A and B are shown apart, each in its own frame.
Chain A
Amino acid sequence: MRGFSLKYVIKRFISAVFTLWIALTINFLLPRCMGGDPAEYLASQSAMGSLEYAELMKQQFGLDKSIFEQYILYLKELLHGNLGVSYMNFPTPVKDIILEAIPWTLLIVITSILISFALAWFLGTLSALKKGSFFDNAVVGTSFYIQSIPYFWVGMLIVMAFGYYLEWFPMGHAQDAAVTGGFLAQAGDIAYHAFLPVLSMVIVSLAGRMIMMRSNILQVFSEDYIVLAQAKGLKKGKILTKYALRNALLPSFTGLMLSLGQAVGGAIATELVFSYPGIGLTTMNAILSHDYPLIQGCFAIIAVSVVTLNFLADLIYPLIDPRVSLS
Chain B
Amino acid sequence: MKFWRRALAVTAATAVCLSGCGGSSGSETETEQQSEETQTEESGETTGGVLKFGAQVTDTQLSNLSPFATSGTYTEWYKLVYEQLLYFNEVTGELEPALADSYEWNEDKTELTLQLNEKATWQDGEDFTADDVLYTYNVLKDNPVFDKYALWDKLEEVTADGETVVFKSKDSFVSLPEYISQIYIVPEHIWKNEDAATFVNSEPIGTGPFIWDSYTTGTSVTFNAYENYWKGAPKLDQAVLMMYNSAANCTLALLKGEIDCTTGTIAMSSLPEFTSKENAKLQTYSGLNNFCVMLNHENEQLADPAVRKAMVMAINQEELISKGEYNGVLPTYISWLPDLFGDNVNKEAAESVSYNLEEAQKILEDAGYEKGSDGIYAKDGQKLSFTYYSASGAPAQQMEAGMIQEWLKTLGIEITPKLATWAELSQLAQNGEYDLLQNSIAFPPDPYAALNTTFNSSMTAESGSPTPGTNYFRYRNDEVDSLLQEASSLSDEAQLTEIYHKIQEILAEDCVFLPMYNGSGHIPYYDGTNLTGWTDAEAPIFSTDNLINIRAVE
- The residues of A with any CB-CB pair to B shorter than 8 Å are 34-38, 40-42, 44-54, 56-57, 60, 86-92, 96-97, 99-101, 103-104, 159, 164, 171-178, 180, 186, 271-278, 281-282, 285, 288-291, 294
CB distance from B132 to the nearest CB of A (A): 23
Contact of A48 among B69, B253, B442 (CB under 8 A): B442
Check A48 against B218 for contact (C-beta < 8 Å). no
Task: Please give me the residue from chain A that is nearest to B146 by CB atom.
Answer: A56
Check B453 against A164 for contact (C-beta < 8 Å). no
- Specify which chain B residues have a CB less than 8 angstroms from the CB of A99 in the assembled complex: 2-3
Which residues 407-456 of B have a CB within 8 angstroms of A? Answer: 420-430, 442-444, 449, 453
Q: How many residue pairs bridge A and B at CB < 8 Å?
A: 204
- Specify which chain A residues have a CB less than 8 angstroms from the CB of B63 in the assembled complex: 86, 89, 92, 96-97, 100
Check A159 against B252 for contact (C-beta < 8 Å). yes
Check B15 against A37 for contact (C-beta < 8 Å). no
Q: Which 9 A-B pairs have the closest CB atoms?
A: A277-B218, A88-B72, A36-B423, A177-B216, A36-B424, A35-B424, A49-B470, A92-B63, A44-B426
The answer, yes or no, to whether B11 is at the interface (CB within 8 Å) is: yes
Task: Please give me the residue from chain A that is nearest to B250 by CB atom.
Answer: A275
Check B71 against A288 for contact (C-beta < 8 Å). no
Task: Please give me the residue from chain A that is nearest to B215 by CB atom.
Answer: A177
- List 14 additional A-B contacts (Cβ < 8 Å) besides A35-B423, A99-B2, A174-B218: A48-B444, A48-B449, A49-B467, A50-B150, A50-B468, A51-B466, A60-B145, A89-B64, A89-B72, A91-B198, A171-B249, A180-B11, A186-B11, A285-B58
Answer whether A173 and B424 are a contact pair too, CB < 8 Å, given A96-B63, A164-B256. Answer: no
Check B423 against A37 for contact (C-beta < 8 Å). yes
List, sorted by A's number, 12 A–B pairs whose CB atoms are closer than 8 Å.
A35-B423, A36-B424, A42-B71, A89-B61, A90-B64, A92-B60, A175-B216, A176-B219, A272-B246, A274-B249, A281-B58, A291-B72
Proximity bits, B48-62, A CB within 8 Å = 1, else 0: 000000000011110
- Specify which chain A residues have a CB less than 8 angstroms from the CB of B393 in the assembled complex: 288
Check A38 against B423 for contact (C-beta < 8 Å). yes
CB distance from A99 to the nearest CB of B (A): 6
- Specify which chain B residues have a CB less than 8 angstroms from the CB of A48 in the assembled complex: 149, 442-444, 449, 453, 469-470
Answer whether A275 and B469 are a contact pair too, CB < 8 Å, given A90-B71, A178-B14. Answer: no
Check B422 against A90 for contact (C-beta < 8 Å). no
Check A289 against B72 for contact (C-beta < 8 Å). yes
Which residues 1-41 of B have a CB within 8 angstroms of A? Answer: 2-4, 7, 10-11, 14-15, 18
Check B60 against A47 for contact (C-beta < 8 Å). no
Check A275 against B426 for contact (C-beta < 8 Å). no
The answer, yes or no, to whether B220 is at the interface (CB within 8 Å) is: yes
CB distance from B197 to the nearest CB of A (A): 7
The answer, yes or no, to whether B148 is at the interface (CB within 8 Å) is: yes
Of the stretches B122-130, B237-245, B298-306, the one at the interface is B237-245
Answer whether A288 and B11 are a contact pair too, CB < 8 Å, given A89-B63, A89-B72. Answer: no
Check A49 against B218 for contact (C-beta < 8 Å). no
CB distance from B36 to the nearest CB of A (A): 30
The answer, yes or no, to whether B217 is at the interface (CB within 8 Å) is: yes
Task: Please give me the residue from chain B that is nearest to A177 by CB atom.
Answer: B216
Proximity bits, B239-276, A CB within 8 Å = 1, else 0: 01001111001001100101000000000000000000
Task: Please give me the residue from chain A that is nearest to B61 by CB atom.
Answer: A89
Task: Please give me the residue from chain A that is nearest to B289 by CB atom.
Answer: A45
The answer, yes or no, to whether B214 is at the interface (CB within 8 Å) is: yes
Contact of B421 among A60, A272, A288 (CB under 8 A): A288
CB distance from A278 to the nearest CB of B (A): 8
Proximity bits, B68-90, A CB within 8 Å = 1, else 0: 01111100000000000000000
CA distance A274 to B18 in the complex (A): 27
Answer whether A177 and B240 are a contact pair too, CB < 8 Å, given A46-B442, A47-B148. Answer: yes
The answer, yes or no, to whether B144 is at the interface (CB within 8 Å) is: yes
CA distance A128 to B373 in the complex (A): 65
Contact of A41 among B200, B214, B245, B426 (CB under 8 A): B426
CB distance from B484 to the nearest CB of A (A): 14
CB distance from B201 to the nearest CB of A (A): 11
The answer, yes or no, to whether B110 is at the interface (CB within 8 Å) is: no
Answer whether A44 and B245 are a contact pair too, CB < 8 Å, given A50-B469, A89-B73, A174-B217. Answer: no
- Specify which chain B residues have a CB less than 8 angstroms from the CB of A53 in the assembled complex: 144-145, 148, 150
CA distance A104 to B470 in the complex (A): 41
CB distance from A46 to the nearest CB of B (A): 5
Answer whether A47 and B427 are a contact pair too, CB < 8 Å, given A89-B71, A100-B3, A177-B222. Answer: no
CA distance A204 to B200 in the complex (A): 40
Task: Please give me the residue from chain A that is nearest to B454 by CB atom.
Answer: A48
Check B423 against A34 for contact (C-beta < 8 Å). yes
Task: Please give me the residue from chain A that is nearest to B220 by CB atom.
Answer: A177
CA distance A46 to B441 in the complex (A): 10
CB distance from B331 to the nearest CB of A (A): 22
Task: Please give me the residue from chain A that is nearest to B17 by CB atom.
Answer: A180
Determine which residue in B256, B426, B470 has the highest number of CB atoms from chain A within 10 A of its CB, and name it.
B426
Contact of B430 among A49, A86, A176 (CB under 8 A): A49
